[in-house]
């Protein structure tokens, strides 16, 4: 029974597929084919506390030395708002997403537009697309 329950565990990324068919291959070295698939696999890695994958999927030019996990923060869901570019024949892509979490038991969410670029032929997370903030005080 335990093995069967493990096999049918849904992937944290929200596609509705079993983890073993969805993001697990990426976490074990199979490069995602699209920027959105990389975004989903990164979210799943955050949700599963796989810091090594989070760092390895980050572009070397923007990657921090380490990330500090927060044991009181749990990622609880992912919504893809928009995905542009990032296909099999693209060099860049943008994925806008909303990630839901619980922080010290309190629900929250964050929205980010992320830039993805090819690095040695594979998708890598470059970083968030920052706005200039000119509308922030209106």
State both tokens at 53.
Answer: 């994958």
Tell me whether residue 36 is exposed, middle or buried, using C-beta atoms within 10 angstroms of its C-beta: 0 to 12, 13 to 18, 19 or more: buried
Instruction: Decide if pLDDT at 135 tops 50.
Output: no
Instruction: Decide if pLDDT at 60 tops 60.
Output: yes
Q: How confident is the model at residue 7 (pLDDT cuts 50, 70, 90)?
A: low
3 state SS of 79: strand
State both tokens at 120.
Answer: 């040695």
Q: Which residues contact 78 (CB under 8 A, 6 or more apart)?
A: 12, 13, 14, 40, 43, 97, 98, 99, 100
Q: How confident is the model at residue 136 (pLDDT cuts 50, 70, 90)?
A: very low
Instruction: Decide if pLDDT at 120 tops 80.
Output: yes
pLDDT at 97: 97
């Amino acid at each position: 029974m335990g093995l069967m329950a493990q096999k049918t565990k849904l992937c944290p990324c929200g596609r509705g597929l079993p983890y073993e068919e969805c993001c697990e291959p990426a976490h074990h070295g199979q490069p995602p084919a699209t920027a959105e698939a990389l975004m989903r696999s990164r979210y799943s890695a955050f949700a599963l506390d796989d810091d090594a994958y989070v760092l390895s999927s980050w572009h070397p030019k923007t990657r921090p030395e380490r990330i500090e996990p927060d044991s009181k923060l749990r990622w609880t869901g992912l919504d893809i708002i928009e995905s542009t570019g990032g296909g099999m024949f693209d060099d860049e892509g943008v994925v806008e997403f909303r990630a839901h979490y619980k922080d010290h038991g309190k629900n929250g969410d964050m929205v980010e537009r992320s830039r993805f670029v090819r690095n040695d032929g594979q998708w890598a997370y470059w970083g968030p697309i920052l706005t200039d903030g000119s509308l922030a005080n209106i």
